[in-house]
Amino acid sequence: MPTNALSTGLLLIVCLCVLGLLAWAGFCFVRWYRADDETRISLRQARRIRWGWKRLALMLELAVKDATPTVLQHFSPQETPAKPRVLAPRLHTEADPFGVTVTADALPQVGLSAWQDANEGLRDAWGMRRIRISQPKPGVIVARGFRREPLEAVIRSPLLGPDGSPVCRPGQFVSTDDVLLGWDEDGTPIVLNLALSAHALIAGTTRSGKSITVNTLLAYASLMRDVRLIVIDPNLGAVAPWWRTAYKVSDSIHPDEPTEILRWVREEMQRRERLFWSGRTDRITNFSPELPLIVLAIDEVANYTRHPDRKARERFEAELMAIASQGAKFGIRLWLLTQKPSADVLTTAVRTNLSARICHRVDTTEDFLHLFPDGRELDITAADREMPPGVSIASVGDMRTPVRLRSVYLPTEACWQINDLMCADGLQIRELPDHIDLGKAA
Protein backbone atom coordinates (compact mmCIF):
# COMPACT_ATOMS: atom_id res chain seq x y z
CA MET A 1 0.00 0.00 0.00
CA PRO A 2 1.50 3.39 -0.93
CA THR A 3 0.19 5.07 2.31
CA ASN A 4 1.77 2.33 4.38
CA ALA A 5 5.05 2.65 2.52
CA LEU A 6 4.96 6.41 3.06
CA SER A 7 4.36 6.15 6.79
CA THR A 8 7.06 3.45 7.13
CA GLY A 9 9.44 5.72 5.25
CA LEU A 10 8.55 8.66 7.49
CA LEU A 11 8.97 6.52 10.59
CA LEU A 12 12.38 5.41 9.35
CA ILE A 13 13.44 9.02 8.77
CA VAL A 14 12.22 10.05 12.25
CA CYS A 15 14.09 7.09 13.79
CA LEU A 16 17.26 8.02 11.93
CA CYS A 17 16.93 11.65 13.05
CA VAL A 18 16.41 10.57 16.69
CA LEU A 19 19.40 8.22 16.46
CA GLY A 20 21.49 11.00 14.93
CA LEU A 21 20.45 13.39 17.70
CA LEU A 22 21.25 10.80 20.37
CA ALA A 23 24.65 10.13 18.82
CA TRP A 24 25.34 13.88 18.68
CA ALA A 25 24.22 14.34 22.31
CA GLY A 26 26.42 11.38 23.32
CA PHE A 27 29.40 12.87 21.50
CA CYS A 28 28.85 16.27 23.19
CA PHE A 29 28.50 14.63 26.60
CA VAL A 30 31.71 12.60 26.22
CA ARG A 31 33.58 15.70 25.03
CA TRP A 32 32.26 17.65 28.01
CA TYR A 33 32.97 14.86 30.47
CA ARG A 34 36.56 14.40 29.32
CA ALA A 35 37.34 18.12 29.23
CA ASP A 36 39.08 19.91 32.11
CA ASP A 37 37.43 22.91 33.83
CA GLU A 38 39.06 25.49 31.57
CA THR A 39 38.14 23.62 28.37
CA ARG A 40 34.53 23.44 29.61
CA ILE A 41 34.43 27.22 29.90
CA SER A 42 35.78 27.40 26.33
CA LEU A 43 33.16 24.88 25.16
CA ARG A 44 30.40 27.15 26.52
CA GLN A 45 32.02 30.10 24.82
CA ALA A 46 32.26 28.19 21.53
CA ARG A 47 28.51 27.50 21.70
CA ARG A 48 27.78 31.20 22.24
CA ILE A 49 30.00 32.06 19.27
CA ARG A 50 28.09 29.69 16.99
CA TRP A 51 24.66 30.83 18.17
CA GLY A 52 25.27 34.55 17.69
CA TRP A 53 27.34 34.21 14.57
CA LYS A 54 24.97 35.24 11.80
CA ARG A 55 24.03 38.52 13.49
CA LEU A 56 27.58 39.34 14.44
CA ALA A 57 28.94 38.51 10.98
CA LEU A 58 26.45 40.95 9.47
CA MET A 59 27.35 43.69 11.98
CA LEU A 60 31.10 43.27 11.37
CA GLU A 61 30.69 43.05 7.60
CA LEU A 62 31.91 39.49 7.52
CA ALA A 63 28.69 38.36 5.84
CA VAL A 64 27.46 39.17 2.34
CA LYS A 65 23.94 39.73 1.05
CA ASP A 66 22.89 37.69 -1.93
CA ALA A 67 19.95 39.03 -3.93
CA THR A 68 19.91 36.17 -6.45
CA PRO A 69 16.49 34.50 -6.12
CA THR A 70 16.44 30.88 -5.07
CA VAL A 71 14.79 28.30 -7.36
CA LEU A 72 11.59 28.49 -5.26
CA GLN A 73 11.53 32.30 -5.31
CA HIS A 74 12.17 32.21 -9.04
CA PHE A 75 9.02 30.23 -9.77
CA SER A 76 6.78 31.78 -7.10
CA PRO A 77 4.21 34.27 -8.42
CA GLN A 78 5.39 37.18 -6.21
CA GLU A 79 5.33 40.69 -7.62
CA THR A 80 7.84 42.18 -5.13
CA PRO A 81 11.51 41.33 -5.60
CA ALA A 82 12.90 38.61 -3.30
CA LYS A 83 14.57 39.74 -0.05
CA PRO A 84 18.35 39.30 -0.25
CA ARG A 85 19.68 36.41 1.81
CA VAL A 86 22.43 36.84 4.40
CA LEU A 87 25.37 34.57 3.67
CA ALA A 88 27.58 34.27 6.73
CA PRO A 89 30.76 32.18 6.52
CA ARG A 90 30.28 28.64 7.83
CA LEU A 91 31.99 28.16 11.19
CA HIS A 92 33.69 25.29 12.87
CA THR A 93 34.73 25.82 16.49
CA GLU A 94 37.22 23.97 18.60
CA ALA A 95 37.63 24.60 22.30
CA ASP A 96 40.81 24.14 24.34
CA PRO A 97 41.98 25.28 27.78
CA PHE A 98 42.99 28.71 26.45
CA GLY A 99 40.03 29.65 24.28
CA VAL A 100 38.35 28.82 21.02
CA THR A 101 39.70 28.30 17.54
CA VAL A 102 37.20 29.32 14.89
CA THR A 103 37.70 28.03 11.38
CA ALA A 104 35.59 29.78 8.76
CA ASP A 105 35.14 29.73 5.00
CA ALA A 106 36.31 32.87 3.27
CA LEU A 107 33.53 34.41 1.16
CA PRO A 108 34.03 36.47 -2.01
CA GLN A 109 35.11 39.96 -0.85
CA VAL A 110 35.36 38.77 2.76
CA GLY A 111 38.91 37.55 2.93
CA LEU A 112 41.77 37.84 5.37
CA SER A 113 41.88 41.65 5.42
CA ALA A 114 38.15 41.92 6.23
CA TRP A 115 38.65 39.54 9.14
CA GLN A 116 41.67 41.49 10.33
CA ASP A 117 39.63 44.71 10.23
CA ALA A 118 36.97 43.01 12.33
CA ASN A 119 39.48 41.72 14.88
CA GLU A 120 38.57 44.17 17.63
CA GLY A 121 34.84 43.64 17.19
CA LEU A 122 35.24 39.87 17.26
CA ARG A 123 37.40 40.10 20.37
CA ASP A 124 34.80 42.14 22.25
CA ALA A 125 31.82 40.10 21.06
CA TRP A 126 33.46 36.76 21.81
CA GLY A 127 34.87 37.91 25.15
CA MET A 128 38.50 37.14 24.26
CA ARG A 129 41.69 38.81 25.42
CA ARG A 130 43.13 38.65 21.92
CA ILE A 131 42.43 37.05 18.58
CA ARG A 132 45.05 35.92 16.10
CA ILE A 133 43.76 35.72 12.55
CA SER A 134 45.47 33.73 9.84
CA GLN A 135 44.78 32.16 6.50
CA PRO A 136 46.43 28.72 6.45
CA LYS A 137 45.22 28.02 2.91
CA PRO A 138 43.12 29.79 0.28
CA GLY A 139 39.46 29.92 1.23
CA VAL A 140 39.99 29.19 4.92
CA ILE A 141 40.27 31.73 7.73
CA VAL A 142 41.35 30.74 11.23
CA ALA A 143 40.56 33.06 14.14
CA ARG A 144 42.30 31.86 17.28
CA GLY A 145 40.65 33.45 20.30
CA PHE A 146 42.44 33.51 23.65
CA ARG A 147 40.35 33.78 26.82
CA ARG A 148 43.57 33.57 28.80
CA GLU A 149 47.18 33.82 27.80
CA PRO A 150 48.92 30.43 27.61
CA LEU A 151 52.11 31.92 29.01
CA GLU A 152 50.30 33.26 32.08
CA ALA A 153 48.27 30.17 32.84
CA VAL A 154 49.27 27.47 35.31
CA ILE A 155 48.66 24.28 33.39
CA ARG A 156 48.41 21.03 35.29
CA SER A 157 50.39 18.12 33.89
CA PRO A 158 48.22 15.55 32.08
CA LEU A 159 49.73 13.00 34.48
CA LEU A 160 47.57 14.53 37.24
CA GLY A 161 43.83 14.56 37.79
CA PRO A 162 41.72 17.57 38.83
CA ASP A 163 42.55 17.01 42.52
CA GLY A 164 46.29 16.96 41.73
CA SER A 165 46.76 13.23 42.31
CA PRO A 166 48.37 11.00 39.65
CA VAL A 167 46.20 9.51 36.93
CA CYS A 168 48.98 7.50 35.31
CA ARG A 169 50.28 3.99 35.78
CA PRO A 170 53.77 2.54 35.66
CA GLY A 171 54.74 1.24 32.23
CA GLN A 172 51.93 3.23 30.63
CA PHE A 173 54.20 4.90 28.08
CA VAL A 174 56.96 3.96 25.65
CA SER A 175 59.85 6.08 24.44
CA THR A 176 58.12 6.91 21.14
CA ASP A 177 55.20 8.56 22.96
CA ASP A 178 55.20 12.33 22.87
CA VAL A 179 55.96 14.04 26.17
CA LEU A 180 53.92 17.22 26.60
CA LEU A 181 56.40 19.80 27.87
CA GLY A 182 54.01 22.72 27.78
CA TRP A 183 52.40 25.27 25.48
CA ASP A 184 53.68 28.16 23.44
CA GLU A 185 52.13 31.62 23.45
CA ASP A 186 49.70 30.62 20.69
CA GLY A 187 48.46 27.68 22.74
CA THR A 188 50.25 25.13 20.56
CA PRO A 189 51.38 22.10 22.53
CA ILE A 190 55.16 21.67 22.63
CA VAL A 191 56.05 18.03 22.74
CA LEU A 192 59.24 16.08 22.91
CA ASN A 193 59.75 12.60 21.61
CA LEU A 194 62.51 10.94 23.59
CA ALA A 195 63.12 8.20 21.04
CA LEU A 196 63.51 10.66 18.18
CA SER A 197 65.16 13.54 20.02
CA ALA A 198 68.80 14.12 20.89
CA HIS A 199 70.58 15.50 23.95
CA ALA A 200 69.32 18.61 25.71
CA LEU A 201 70.36 21.54 27.84
CA ILE A 202 68.15 23.28 30.40
CA ALA A 203 69.38 26.53 31.90
CA GLY A 204 67.94 29.11 34.24
CA THR A 205 68.69 31.00 37.43
CA THR A 206 67.43 29.78 40.74
CA ARG A 207 63.60 29.67 41.05
CA SER A 208 63.14 30.08 37.30
CA GLY A 209 61.31 26.78 36.91
CA LYS A 210 64.02 24.30 35.84
CA SER A 211 63.01 21.65 38.37
CA ILE A 212 59.35 21.76 37.39
CA THR A 213 60.33 21.35 33.73
CA VAL A 214 62.67 18.48 34.48
CA ASN A 215 60.07 16.83 36.75
CA THR A 216 57.96 16.26 33.63
CA LEU A 217 60.85 14.67 31.79
CA LEU A 218 61.85 12.42 34.71
CA ALA A 219 58.26 11.40 35.40
CA TYR A 220 57.61 10.36 31.80
CA ALA A 221 60.97 8.62 31.54
CA SER A 222 60.13 6.69 34.73
CA LEU A 223 56.72 5.68 33.39
CA MET A 224 58.10 4.46 30.06
CA ARG A 225 58.59 0.71 29.99
CA ASP A 226 61.46 0.86 27.50
CA VAL A 227 63.45 3.61 29.26
CA ARG A 228 66.13 3.38 31.93
CA LEU A 229 66.55 6.50 34.00
CA ILE A 230 69.86 7.63 35.47
CA VAL A 231 69.94 10.79 37.59
CA ILE A 232 72.99 12.59 38.96
CA ASP A 233 72.07 15.45 41.23
CA PRO A 234 74.37 16.92 43.88
CA ASN A 235 71.49 18.92 45.37
CA LEU A 236 69.27 15.86 45.85
CA GLY A 237 66.42 17.95 44.45
CA ALA A 238 65.38 16.53 41.07
CA VAL A 239 66.54 13.01 41.91
CA ALA A 240 64.84 12.59 45.31
CA PRO A 241 61.36 11.45 44.09
CA TRP A 242 62.96 8.90 41.74
CA TRP A 243 65.64 7.67 44.11
CA ARG A 244 63.89 4.35 44.83
CA THR A 245 63.23 3.39 41.20
CA ALA A 246 65.80 5.00 38.89
CA TYR A 247 68.29 2.57 37.39
CA LYS A 248 71.29 4.48 38.75
CA VAL A 249 71.43 7.54 40.98
CA SER A 250 74.06 9.71 42.60
CA ASP A 251 73.88 12.67 44.95
CA SER A 252 77.64 12.87 45.32
CA ILE A 253 79.16 16.33 45.36
CA HIS A 254 82.59 15.04 44.30
CA PRO A 255 82.82 14.15 40.57
CA ASP A 256 84.27 10.63 41.09
CA GLU A 257 80.99 8.78 41.72
CA PRO A 258 79.18 10.48 38.79
CA THR A 259 82.23 9.75 36.61
CA GLU A 260 81.86 6.05 37.45
CA ILE A 261 78.24 6.21 36.27
CA LEU A 262 79.25 7.97 33.05
CA ARG A 263 81.89 5.29 32.54
CA TRP A 264 79.23 2.60 32.87
CA VAL A 265 77.15 4.44 30.26
CA ARG A 266 80.12 4.53 27.92
CA GLU A 267 80.75 0.81 28.40
CA GLU A 268 77.08 0.23 27.60
CA MET A 269 77.62 2.21 24.39
CA GLN A 270 80.46 -0.13 23.50
CA ARG A 271 78.30 -3.18 24.27
CA ARG A 272 75.65 -1.80 21.93
CA GLU A 273 78.11 -1.24 19.12
CA ARG A 274 77.81 -4.83 17.91
CA LEU A 275 74.10 -4.20 17.26
CA PHE A 276 75.11 -1.87 14.45
CA TRP A 277 76.77 -4.83 12.73
CA SER A 278 73.97 -7.30 13.31
CA GLY A 279 71.28 -4.73 12.52
CA ARG A 280 73.19 -3.25 9.54
CA THR A 281 72.47 0.22 10.85
CA ASP A 282 74.34 3.20 12.25
CA ARG A 283 71.95 4.08 15.08
CA ILE A 284 69.54 2.39 17.43
CA THR A 285 65.98 3.51 16.84
CA ASN A 286 63.90 0.67 18.28
CA PHE A 287 63.87 0.42 22.04
CA SER A 288 62.47 -2.29 24.28
CA PRO A 289 62.77 -3.35 27.93
CA GLU A 290 65.70 -5.56 26.80
CA LEU A 291 67.34 -2.73 24.85
CA PRO A 292 66.13 0.39 26.65
CA LEU A 293 66.65 4.03 25.83
CA ILE A 294 68.86 5.50 28.54
CA VAL A 295 67.91 8.93 29.85
CA LEU A 296 70.83 10.42 31.76
CA ALA A 297 69.93 13.63 33.62
CA ILE A 298 72.62 15.65 35.40
CA ASP A 299 71.42 18.52 37.57
CA GLU A 300 73.80 21.37 38.49
CA VAL A 301 76.40 20.08 36.07
CA ALA A 302 78.59 23.08 37.01
CA ASN A 303 79.15 21.42 40.39
CA TYR A 304 81.25 18.80 38.57
CA THR A 305 82.70 20.75 35.67
CA ARG A 306 83.93 23.53 38.00
CA HIS A 307 84.92 21.31 40.88
CA PRO A 308 88.18 22.38 42.61
CA ASP A 309 89.62 18.85 42.23
CA ARG A 310 91.06 19.42 38.77
CA LYS A 311 91.96 15.80 37.97
CA ALA A 312 88.53 14.54 39.00
CA ARG A 313 86.87 17.33 37.05
CA GLU A 314 88.81 16.47 33.91
CA ARG A 315 87.92 12.77 34.18
CA PHE A 316 84.26 13.74 34.47
CA GLU A 317 84.46 16.10 31.50
CA ALA A 318 86.19 13.49 29.32
CA GLU A 319 83.40 10.97 29.94
CA LEU A 320 80.74 13.62 29.47
CA MET A 321 82.24 14.66 26.15
CA ALA A 322 82.33 11.07 24.89
CA ILE A 323 78.67 10.56 25.74
CA ALA A 324 77.60 13.95 24.35
CA SER A 325 79.32 13.35 21.02
CA GLN A 326 78.60 9.65 20.49
CA GLY A 327 75.82 8.63 22.88
CA ALA A 328 72.71 9.61 20.91
CA LYS A 329 73.12 6.95 18.24
CA PHE A 330 73.57 4.28 20.94
CA GLY A 331 70.25 5.25 22.52
CA ILE A 332 71.54 7.60 25.23
CA ARG A 333 69.77 10.90 25.89
CA LEU A 334 71.77 13.32 27.95
CA TRP A 335 69.90 16.09 29.79
CA LEU A 336 72.11 18.67 31.45
CA LEU A 337 70.81 21.30 33.85
CA THR A 338 72.70 24.37 34.89
CA GLN A 339 72.03 27.76 36.37
CA LYS A 340 74.69 29.36 34.20
CA PRO A 341 75.35 27.95 30.74
CA SER A 342 78.68 29.74 30.29
CA ALA A 343 81.78 28.33 28.57
CA ASP A 344 83.55 27.55 31.86
CA VAL A 345 80.60 25.33 32.85
CA LEU A 346 80.15 23.52 29.55
CA THR A 347 82.70 23.52 26.78
CA THR A 348 81.50 24.55 23.35
CA ALA A 349 82.21 20.99 22.17
CA VAL A 350 79.75 19.54 24.69
CA ARG A 351 77.22 22.32 24.21
CA THR A 352 77.01 21.94 20.43
CA ASN A 353 75.93 18.33 20.92
CA LEU A 354 72.98 19.33 23.11
CA SER A 355 70.57 20.24 20.35
CA ALA A 356 67.37 20.62 22.37
CA ARG A 357 67.51 23.84 24.39
CA ILE A 358 65.27 25.16 27.12
CA CYS A 359 66.32 28.46 28.62
CA HIS A 360 64.41 29.73 31.64
CA ARG A 361 65.13 33.20 33.01
CA VAL A 362 68.88 33.91 32.96
CA ASP A 363 70.86 36.87 34.29
CA THR A 364 72.62 38.11 31.20
CA THR A 365 72.21 38.23 27.44
CA GLU A 366 75.53 36.33 27.18
CA ASP A 367 73.98 33.45 29.13
CA PHE A 368 71.06 33.42 26.70
CA LEU A 369 73.40 33.54 23.71
CA HIS A 370 75.22 30.47 25.00
CA LEU A 371 72.01 28.54 24.38
CA PHE A 372 70.83 30.43 21.34
CA PRO A 373 73.89 31.83 19.50
CA ASP A 374 71.67 33.71 17.03
CA GLY A 375 69.60 35.04 19.92
CA ARG A 376 70.25 38.67 19.02
CA GLU A 377 68.21 38.19 15.87
CA LEU A 378 65.27 36.78 17.80
CA ASP A 379 62.57 39.05 19.15
CA ILE A 380 62.44 37.01 22.35
CA THR A 381 64.99 36.64 25.10
CA ALA A 382 65.33 34.83 28.41
CA ALA A 383 67.61 37.54 29.82
CA ASP A 384 64.52 39.24 31.13
CA ARG A 385 63.89 39.88 34.80
CA GLU A 386 60.15 39.97 34.16
CA MET A 387 60.06 36.42 32.82
CA PRO A 388 57.85 34.46 35.20
CA PRO A 389 58.87 31.09 36.68
CA GLY A 390 57.84 28.24 34.42
CA VAL A 391 58.27 30.23 31.20
CA SER A 392 61.29 29.58 29.01
CA ILE A 393 62.60 30.02 25.49
CA ALA A 394 62.68 26.58 23.96
CA SER A 395 63.81 24.85 20.84
CA VAL A 396 63.10 21.13 20.80
CA GLY A 397 62.52 18.52 18.13
CA ASP A 398 62.41 19.90 14.62
CA MET A 399 61.38 23.44 15.59
CA ARG A 400 62.72 26.02 13.11
CA THR A 401 62.73 28.97 15.50
CA PRO A 402 62.66 29.00 19.30
CA VAL A 403 59.35 29.74 21.01
CA ARG A 404 58.24 30.96 24.40
CA LEU A 405 57.17 27.92 26.39
CA ARG A 406 55.05 27.65 29.51
CA SER A 407 55.94 24.32 31.12
CA VAL A 408 53.18 22.12 32.42
CA TYR A 409 53.04 22.14 36.19
CA LEU A 410 54.17 18.91 37.79
CA PRO A 411 55.18 19.71 41.36
CA THR A 412 57.74 17.58 43.18
CA GLU A 413 55.08 16.31 45.62
CA ALA A 414 53.20 14.79 42.67
CA CYS A 415 56.45 13.15 41.48
CA TRP A 416 56.71 11.46 44.88
CA GLN A 417 53.14 10.22 44.52
CA ILE A 418 53.89 8.83 41.06
CA ASN A 419 56.94 7.13 42.48
CA ASP A 420 54.84 5.66 45.33
CA LEU A 421 52.65 4.07 42.63
CA MET A 422 55.75 2.63 40.98
CA CYS A 423 57.01 1.22 44.29
CA ALA A 424 53.59 -0.28 44.99
CA ASP A 425 53.90 -1.95 41.59
CA GLY A 426 57.11 -3.64 42.69
CA LEU A 427 59.50 -1.36 40.78
CA GLN A 428 61.51 -0.24 43.79
CA ILE A 429 65.17 -1.22 43.44
CA ARG A 430 66.76 0.67 46.33
CA GLU A 431 65.94 2.21 49.68
CA LEU A 432 66.15 5.95 50.30
CA PRO A 433 69.58 7.11 51.50
CA ASP A 434 70.31 6.13 55.11
CA HIS A 435 70.07 9.67 56.44
CA ILE A 436 66.55 10.19 54.98
CA ASP A 437 63.69 9.17 57.26
CA LEU A 438 60.41 9.49 55.35
CA GLY A 439 58.40 9.28 58.56
CA LYS A 440 60.20 12.29 59.97
CA ALA A 441 60.12 14.14 56.65
CA ALA A 442 56.34 13.73 56.55
Ligand X SMILES: Nc1ncnc2c1ncn2[C@@H]1O[C@H](COP(=O)(O)OP(=O)(O)OP(=O)(O)O)[C@@H](O)[C@H]1O
Asked if residue 207 belongs to a known ligand binding site, the reply is yes
Q: Interface with ligand X includes 211 (CB under 6 A)?
A: yes
Number of residues lying near ligand X (CB under 6 A): 14
Which listed range, 98-106, 171-179, 202-210, 260-268, lies at the site for ligand X (CB under 6 A)? 202-210
The three-point CA angle 310-316-317 to 5° equals 85
246: Cα separation from own chain's centroid: 24
Cβ closest to ligand X, residue 72 vs residue 154: 154
Q: Which has the closest alpha carbon to 55: 127, 122, 123?
A: 122
Applying CB under 6 A, which of residues 1, 67, 154, 442 lies at the interface with ligand X?
154
Phi, psi dihedral angles at 167 (to 5 degrees) = -120, 35
Indicate which single residue of 204, 241, 331, 402 sits in contact with ligand X (rule: CB under 6 A). 204
| Alpha-carbon gap, residue 37 to 96, rounded angstroms | 10
Would the annotation count 205 as a binding residue? yes
CA distances from 319 to 260, 261, 262, 327 (A): 9, 9, 6, 11
Q: Which of 172, 159, 280, 167 is nearest to 226 (CA)?
A: 172
| Residues from 385 through 414 that contact ligand X (CB under 6 A) | 389-390, 407, 409
Q: How are strands ordered across the β-sheet holding 178-184?
A: 189-193, 178-184, 403-407, 391-395, 356-359, 200-203, 332-338, 293-298, 227-232, 248-250
Q: Is 440 annotated as a binding residue?
A: no
How many Å apart are CA 263 and CA 281, to the nearest integer?
A: 24
Return the SS3 of 164. coil
Q: How far is the CB of 387 from ligand X (least distance, A)?
A: 11
Please give the residues from 232 up to 291 whose contact with ligand X meets the rule CB under 6 A: 237
Residue 280, marked binder? no
CB closer to ligand X out of 110 and 297: 297
Is the CB of 233 or the CB of 317 nearer to ligand X? Answer: 233
**CB closer to ligand X out of 315 and 361:** 361
Nearest to 186 by CA among 216, 142, 126: 142
Q: Among 46-54, 64-72, 199-207, 313-321, which window interacts with ligand X (CB under 6 A)?
A: 199-207
Verify binding: residue 156, ligand X, rule CB under 6 A.
no
Is residue 335 a contact point for ligand X (CB under 6 A)?
A: no
Binding mask 341-380 for ligand X (x = CB under 6 A): ----------------------------------------
Stretch that binds ligand X, among 128-136, 210-218, 275-283, 368-376 (CB under 6 A): 210-218
Amino acid symbol at 231: V
The reply to whether 157 sits near ligand X by the rule CB under 6 A is no
Piece of the chain touching ligand X by CB under 6 A; list 52-60, 200-208, 252-260, 289-297: 200-208
Alpha-carbon torsion (17, 87, 103, 126), positive or negative = negative
User: How does DSSP classify residue 241?
Assistant: G
**Residue closer to ligand X, measured from CB, 104 or 240:** 240
Torsion of CA 132, 135, 140, 143, to 10 degrees: 0
Distance CA 394, CA 372 (A): 9
Q: Which residue is nearest to ligand X (CB)?
A: 390
Nearer to ligand X among residue 208 and residue 303 (C-beta): 208
Residue 209, annotated as binding a ligand = yes
Contact status: 212 vs ligand X (CB under 6 A): yes
Pairwise CA distance, residues 344 & 77, whole Å: 89
The binding site for ATP comprises: 204-211
Q: Binding residues for ligand X, per CB under 6 A? A: 154, 204, 206-212, 237, 389-390, 407, 409
The binding site comprises: 204-211
